[in-house]
């Protein structure tokens, strides 16, 4: 019994930042501590616009993980990171999980400047954080920063772990402009969810 509880404690402490934490600083520390894992370092390097590190971790992912659907997700994500719509379009259809495929299709539409297509695809996505991320991106591209910030915050509060970290870093420029007394600020920076 003690061994099981100890194992749960160790595993919980290990994976808490990865899946459950809302503390961006702790998630970032976890990603850096585990940067030898290309998946974690890919998240960290793309979120922080570290181009050579992102490419290096991307190549390691493709070498390590041979599953074609999994590779399609990373090939599409990396192409979007590089703003390579041709590469993203070449791989997005190979993503088996419908919701992820639609999410990336909407991001590609945004890169191509087709906000109405991005919104149409977003309407089909069940995941609230994915849908609201797409809407935040479309409103930002259209110059409606207030609406973009509202959707970015809404997406952010619906995520945890690595997803939260990626979204936070992506929308950091919007979040930084929120007044400390604003209700949106309080949603993001409730106890233990801040960057310190």
Q: What is the mean pLDDT of the chain?
A: 85
Q: What's the pLDDT tens digit per position in 3-39? A: 444 333 333 445 555 667 888 888 899 999 999 999 9
pLDDT given at position 191: 42
Number of domains the chain is built from: 1
Q: What residues make up the domain containing 177? A: 127-191
Instruction: With respect to residue 173, please indicate whether it lies within any of the assigned structural domains.
Output: yes
pLDDT given at position 140: 96
Instruction: With respect to residue 156, please indicate whether it lies within any of the assigned structural domains.
Output: yes
Instruction: With respect to residue 147, please indicate whether it lies within any of the assigned structural domains.
Output: yes
pLDDT given at position 6: 34
Instruction: With respect to residue 7, please indicate whether it lies within any of the assigned structural domains.
Output: no
pTM assigned to the model: 0.84
Q: What's the pLDDT tens digit per position in 133-192? A: 999 999 999 999 999 999 999 998 899 888 999 999 999 888 877 655 556 555 555 544
Instruction: With respect to residue 119, please indicate whether it lies within any of the assigned structural domains.
Output: no
Q: H/E/C letters for each residue in the chain? A: CHHHHHHHHHHHHHHHHHHCCCCHHHHHHHHHHCCCCHHHHHHHHHHCCCHHHHHHHHHHHHHHCCCHHHHHHHHHHHHHHCCCHHHHHHHHCCCCCHHHHHHHHHHHHHHCCCHHHHHHHHHCCCCHHHHHHHHHHHHHHCCCHHHHHHHHHHHHHCCCHHHHHHHHHHHHHHHCCCCCCCHHHHHHCCCCCCCC
pLDDT given at position 21: 81
pLDDT given at position 177: 73
Mean pLDDT of 79-90: 97
Instruction: With respect to residue 18, please indicate whether it lies within any of the assigned structural domains.
Output: no
Instruction: With respect to residue 169, please indicate whether it lies within any of the assigned structural domains.
Output: yes
Instruction: With respect to residue 144, please indicate whether it lies within any of the assigned structural domains.
Output: yes
**Which pLDDT band, with edges at 50, 70 and 90, does 88 fall under?**
very high
């Amino acid at each position: 019994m003690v061994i099981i509880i100890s194992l749960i404690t160790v595993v919980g402490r290990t994976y808490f930042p990865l899946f459950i934490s809302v503390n961006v600083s702790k998630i970032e520390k976890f990603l850096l501590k585990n940067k030898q894992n290309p998946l974690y370092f890919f998240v960290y390097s793309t979120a922080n616009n570290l181009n050579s590190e992102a490419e290096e971790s991307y190549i390691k992912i493709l070498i390590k993980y041979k599953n074609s659907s999994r590779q399609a997700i990373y090939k599409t994500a990396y192409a979007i990171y590089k703003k390579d719509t041709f590469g993203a379009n070449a791989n997005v259809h190979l993503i088996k999980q419908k919701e992820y495929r639609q999410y990336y299709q909407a991001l590609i539409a945004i890169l191509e400047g087709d906000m109405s297509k991005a919104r149409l695809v977003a309407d089909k996505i069940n995941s609230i954080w994915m849908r609201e991320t797409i809407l935040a991106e479309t409103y930002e591209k259209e110059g409606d920063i207030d609406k973009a910030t509202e959707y970015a915050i809404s997406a952010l509060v619906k995520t945890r772990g690595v997803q939260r970290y990626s979204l936070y870093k992506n929308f950091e420029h919007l979040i930084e402009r929120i007044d400390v007394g604003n209700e949106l600020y309080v949603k993001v920076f409730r106890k233990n969810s801040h960057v310190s």
